[in-house]
Amino acid sequence: MIVDYQELKNSVIQGCSSIIDLFSSSLMMTTTGEYMTQEDDWERDLLLDPAWEKQQRKTFTAWCNSHLRKAGTQIENIEEDFRNGLKLMLLLEVISGERLPKPDKGKMRFHKIANVNKALDFISSKGVKLISIGAEEIVDGNVKMTLGMIWTIILRFAIQDISVEETSAKEGLLLWCQRKTAPYRNVNVQNFHISWKDGLALCALIHRHRPDLIDYSKLRKDDPVGNLNTAFEVAEKYLDIPKMLDADDIVNTPKPDEKAIMTYVSCFYHAFAGAEQAETAANRICKVLAVNQENEKLMEEYEKLASELLEWIRRTIPWLENRVAEQTMHAMQQKLEDFRDYRRVHKPPKVQEKCQLEINFNTLQTKLRLSNRPAFMPSEGKMVSDIANAWKGLEQVEKGYEEWLLTEIRRLERLDHLAEKFKQKSTLHESWTTGKEELLSQKDYESASLMEIRALMRKHEAFESDLAAHQDRVEQIAAIAQELNELDYYDAATINARCQGICDQWDNLGTLTQKRRESLERVEKLWETIDQLYLEFAKRAAPFNNWMDGAMEDLQDMFIVHSIEEIQSLITAHDQFKATIPEADKERMAIMGIHNEILKIAQTYGIKVVGENPYTVLSPQDISNKWEAVKQLVPMRDQMLQEEVARQQSNERLRRQFAAQANIIGPWIQIKMEEISHVSIDIVGSLEEQMSNLKTYEQNIINYKSNIDTLEGDHQLSQESLIFDNKHTNYTMEHVHVGWEQLLTTIARTINEIENQILTRDAKGISQEQLNEFRASFNHFDRKRNGMMDPDDFRACLISMGYDLVSGEVEFARIMTLVDPNNTGVVTFQAFIDFMTRETAETDTAEQVTASFKILASDKAYITVEELRRELPPEQAEYCIIRMTKYNVGDAPPGALDYISFSSALYGESDL
């Protein structure tokens, strides 16, 4: 970190002005060791020249405000704002760094006098005896007494300790000014009044210490006002010394006020004298602390990002592991849509976070190595490998969840189809069985005639034939119900109840049929006559009618297919059915011929046919009507099959569309991965050129994202069309997602590696040619071309570069601990570069930082809080105060801090 020189100067000025106790020659030492104001000076002050009073007002007010602003306040009128004693006590606390007694809060006169007395008592406690200055005069706003009191404070706390070549206070300050301005033309400092009127002395002081602020060669002695204003403005803007004087007043006063000039010049002494060594030490410390602060910030950011990413994975995995199936297709499709939102919206930012996390970790480790700090070890469970493992687990669960979703959707699709088919067949069967139990339970044969009995027998035979024909439908209903149970249909209870009712009824029909046959057979011998034609009609009409029922059922049967081949199979079956229609029509005509024969015989022999055929409920009209219905269903079935053909052809187009893009994107991703891998192996141009090429690659990859989005859109269309396989490509959307994420991670990681190499090159001061030589040596011994060297290859590389390792196993083992601290068994290029530059690099050390602190501590073995806050910027000072341990050795004062152990801890050489 580069510490701003001016900012550090300002900090030193502020710190010094609050703790250095100074005095002047206007104070004299008594035999008791106390200080008092000389009476002749005081009497002269009571007769203060108006011009001097004006200068003192401005100077003393500015001086007080330069300290009061540290407490967040200021004064406007020096004799009015100190009358209640509150700001006077605050001023003394700021400049002394000590606490005064608690002030009285009342607004009465006696409260104000009490507060001023507390301030005057504190001044007296510092060895100053105030003569003729009482609290009442200050409370009453006596301007001369107030100015005298402030001057006494300035003498005690700003000038007393100035010492130059065994002279102190006023003489010491004057000698310092003479020495610093001696080389400058037109400057001859002999006093603190007329020697400063032309402003050149002030400009010379500034130029001597900060030549960058003033061009002294351009100053003219005949422009005193301009010179003074230049000095005032530069001091206020760049040196944090407020403007305490007025140029016109100084120039137009024959003899400027000495107190005002001394007060203002003392600020320059504190700004410049003795600051060089402390500044250098403070600069070094600030630089080291800045490195540690930045590293700690990166560590905190890594921990925070790692915690958030792991927490997101922890929350997401249970959601993906929840395999509780929904009961309806709509609900499961909503789950699939939620999963698509996760893959499309929620996961991609986390992929970027994971990549950024690895980059931050690598950058942090590089910075720690470059600054001789110990490697960063994340909290338990937050290593990069831990996050990679957690991410791998997430992707495994994610893959399983998608497979489960698709399986469940197929299952529900199958269930809905079977349930509808069950209902259709059950409705047909229940319609057929309606009234059959009542019919079989009749005992009409008991009072029937012979002809009627024979008719009943034949009718029963026809019913048995019909019953046998319906056996297949009952078995189909039971089989469908069983499959629904096996597939865990949500409304299986209703299905089972209906199926059980059908089976129970079927068993009862069988029992009743058997009983009726037995009853009819018992009386069969009593009956002899039967109408063969009626019987023949009934026997042929019943199976034909059943065939038509089956045909209508098949023509209306629901179907579900997933490919053109499957729909073609249904079309073939339908075509085969249509081929049987002519033969069926012949059977219909034959059956109708039997009926016509009955009518012909009756007409021929004069038989009056009364009622319907006694052997069947089927009439010729029933046969004709149902035949017409079958013929109408055939073209409807044709249309349904052709519509399904169109849908399957559309699905096939979606498959081919997806495959065409996937077969381009998949190889493109692989090619880009290979091209990026060559960047870290081939030496082509400077690191900046390599970085530029990689940035171009990265932008090309980012621009390619639209192709991925297009493919994702095709993938969603395929899933919405329930397309779950694609024989035209080996690339699935999951493969593309994984490859794309790996590509983004690889390009980002490679860019980060080049950035770290640039950081290493610049920090270590190695040239591009040296870096190319290191890269060439590394690539030569990187025999597997994977960006890493085995230990044997690394040993051979070192020997080729002049290291004597033929018999130096101990030395080689030591080097391996440096380049492979985690014992991975390989040496990366970054570790190789760090090793090759580490021992020749010029970096700061714990000993250098300790020496710098020793300077700030005035050679003591400890440092105080006040010294830290005085010498360092606030942020760095507080950083040290919080982390330094107490120094409890010998007669160290309370609050002393141990800067030696702190310096060692900065470099990982001790623990705090």
Burial class (CB in 10 A: 0-12, 13-18, 19+), 750: buried
Phi then psi dihedrals of residue 257, to 5 deg: -65, 125
The answer to whether 900 and 887 have CB atoms below 8 angstroms apart is no
Q: What is the pLDDT of residues 582-593, one digit of tens each?
A: 998 998 899 888
Please report the pLDDT score of residue 188 as a whole number: 93
- The single-letter DSSP state of residue 789 is E
Please report the pLDDT score of residue 909 as a whole number: 57
Distance, in Å, from the CA atom of 374 to the CA atom of 287, rounded to the nearest integer, reads 18
The two tokens of residue 61 are: 């007010």
Please report the pLDDT score of residue 681 as a whole number: 62
192 pLDDT band, cuts 50/70/90, is: very high
Please report the pLDDT score of residue 208 as a whole number: 86
Task: Single out the residue of 552, 557, 560 nearest to residue 415, CA to CA.
Answer: 560
The two tokens of residue 490 are: 């949500």
Phi then psi dihedrals of residue 442, to 5 deg: -65, 150
More confident residue, 140 or 720: 140
Please report the pLDDT score of residue 529 as a whole number: 36
3-state secondary structure of 47: coil
166 pLDDT band, cuts 50/70/90, is: low
The two tokens of residue 625 are: 């009507």
Distance, in Å, from the CA atom of 234 to the CA atom of 885, rounded to the nearest integer, reads 41
More confident residue, 175 or 533: 175
Strand 788-789 versus strand 827-828 pairing type: antiparallel
Distance, in Å, from the CA atom of 247 to the CA atom of 229, rounded to the nearest integer, reads 6
Strand 167-168 versus strand 163-164 pairing type: antiparallel
More confident residue, 733 or 194: 194
The two tokens of residue 476 are: 């189909």
Q: What is the dotted CATH code of the domain comprising 846-907?
A: 1.10.238.10
Residue 135 C-alpha from the chain's centroid: 64
The two tokens of residue 226 are: 């301009």
pTM over 0.75: no
Lowest mean pLDDT, pick from 14-23, 148-157, 244-253, 807-816: 14-23
The answer to whether 555 and 498 have CB atoms below 8 angstroms apart is no
Q: What is the pLDDT of residues 31-40, one digit of tens each?
A: 223 333 333 3
Phi then psi dihedrals of residue 724, to 5 deg: -115, 0
Could you check whether 285-414 and 458-468+483-618 share the same CATH topology?
Answer: yes
- Percent pLDDT > 70 in the chain is 87
195 pLDDT band, cuts 50/70/90, is: very high
Distance, in Å, from the CA atom of 710 to the CA atom of 412, rounded to the nearest integer, reads 29
C-alpha triplet 489, 494, 500: angle, nearest 5°: 110
CATH C-level class of 285-414: mainly alpha
DSSP string, 666-696: HHHHHHHHHHHHHHTTS--S-HHHHHHHHHH
Strand 827-828 versus strand 897-898 pairing type: unpaired
Q: Which long-range contacts (CB under 8 A, 24 or more apart) does 696-700 make?
A: 697/672, 697/747, 698/747, 698/748, 698/751
527 pLDDT band, cuts 50/70/90, is: very low
What does pLDDT average to over the chain?
81
Cα 736 to Cα 316, 352, 356, 676, 908: the distances in Å are: 22, 17, 21, 18, 45
The two tokens of residue 713 are: 């859109």
CA-based R_g, the chain, Å? 53
Please report the pLDDT score of residue 222 as a whole number: 93
Residue 23 has pLDDT above 70, yes or no: no
Query: How many CB atoms are closer than 10 A to CB 581?
Result: 15
Residue 658 has pLDDT above 70, yes or no: yes
Q: Which long-range contacts (CB under 8 A, 24 or more apart) does 241-246 make?
A: 241/13, 241/66, 241/267, 241/268, 241/271, 242/62, 242/63, 242/65, 242/66, 243/62, 244/58, 244/59, 244/62, 244/63, 245/55, 245/58, 245/59, 246/55, 246/58
619 pLDDT band, cuts 50/70/90, is: confident
Phi then psi dihedrals of residue 883, to 5 deg: -95, -20
Residue 353 has pLDDT above 70, yes or no: yes
Torsion of CA 463, 464, 470, 475, to 10 degrees: 150
Distance, in Å, from the CA atom of 313 to the CA atom of 336, rounded to the nearest integer, reads 19
Task: Single out the residue of 512, 491, 489 nearest to residue 442, CA to CA.
Answer: 512
Instruction: Taking the CA atoms of 271, 272, 273 and 275 in sequence, report the sign of the dihedral they define.
Output: positive
Task: Single out the residue of 542, 544, 687, 547 nearest to residue 613, CA to CA.
Answer: 542
Residue 508 has pLDDT above 50, yes or no: yes
3-state secondary structure of 164: strand
Distance, in Å, from the CA atom of 403 to the CA atom of 323, rounded to the nearest integer, reads 11
- The single-letter DSSP state of residue 562 is S
Residue 202 has pLDDT above 90, yes or no: yes
Strand 163-164 versus strand 788-789 pairing type: unpaired
Q: What is the pLDDT of residues 743-781, one digit of tens each?
A: 888 888 888 888 887 887 777 667 777 777 777 777 788
3-state secondary structure of 108: coil
**Interval 68-78 mean pLDDT:** 89
The answer to whether 515 and 439 have CB atoms below 8 angstroms apart is no
Residue 852 CB partners (closer than 8 Å, separation 6+):
280, 281, 282, 284, 285
Q: What is the pLDDT of residues 278-328, one digit of tens each?
A: 666 777 788 888 888 888 888 889 889 989 888 998 998 898 888 887 777
The two tokens of residue 574 are: 């339908």
The CATH number of domain 458-468+483-618, selected from 1.20.58.60, 3.40.50.620, 1.25.40.10, 3.40.50.1970: 1.20.58.60
Please report the pLDDT score of residue 403 as a whole number: 85
Burial class (CB in 10 A: 0-12, 13-18, 19+), 545: buried
DSSP string, 732-752: -HHHHHHHHHHHHHHHHHHHH
Distance, in Å, from the CA atom of 493 to the CA atom of 497, rounded to the nearest integer, reads 6
Please report the pLDDT score of residue 841 as a whole number: 52
Residue 3 C-alpha from the chain's centroid: 32
The answer to whether 75 and 270 have CB atoms below 8 angstroms apart is no
Residue 22 CB partners (closer than 8 Å, separation 6+):
155, 156, 157, 158, 159, 160, 161, 162, 169, 266
CATH C-level class of 661-837: mainly alpha
Q: Where are the domains of the chain?
A: 285-414, 458-468+483-618, 661-837, 846-907
- What b/e sequence results for 222-249 when a residue is b if at least 16 CB atoms lie within 10 Å of its CB, and e otherwise? eebeebbbbbbebbeebbbbbbbbbbeb
Length of the chain: 912
499 pLDDT band, cuts 50/70/90, is: very high
Task: Single out the residue of 245, 242, 204, 255 nearest to residue 225, CA to CA.
Answer: 245
3-state secondary structure of 77: coil
The answer to whether 204 and 234 have CB atoms below 8 angstroms apart is no
**Interval 478-486 mean pLDDT:** 87
- The single-letter DSSP state of residue 99 is P
Q: What is the pLDDT of residues 408-455, one digit of tens each?
A: 788 777 778 888 888 888 898 888 888 888 888 887 766 665 577 778
Beta strands in 208-290 (DSSP E): none
More confident residue, 451 or 108: 108
Residue 811 has pLDDT above 50, yes or no: yes
Biggest alpha carbon distance in the chain? 173
Tokens 């130029």 sit on residue: 207
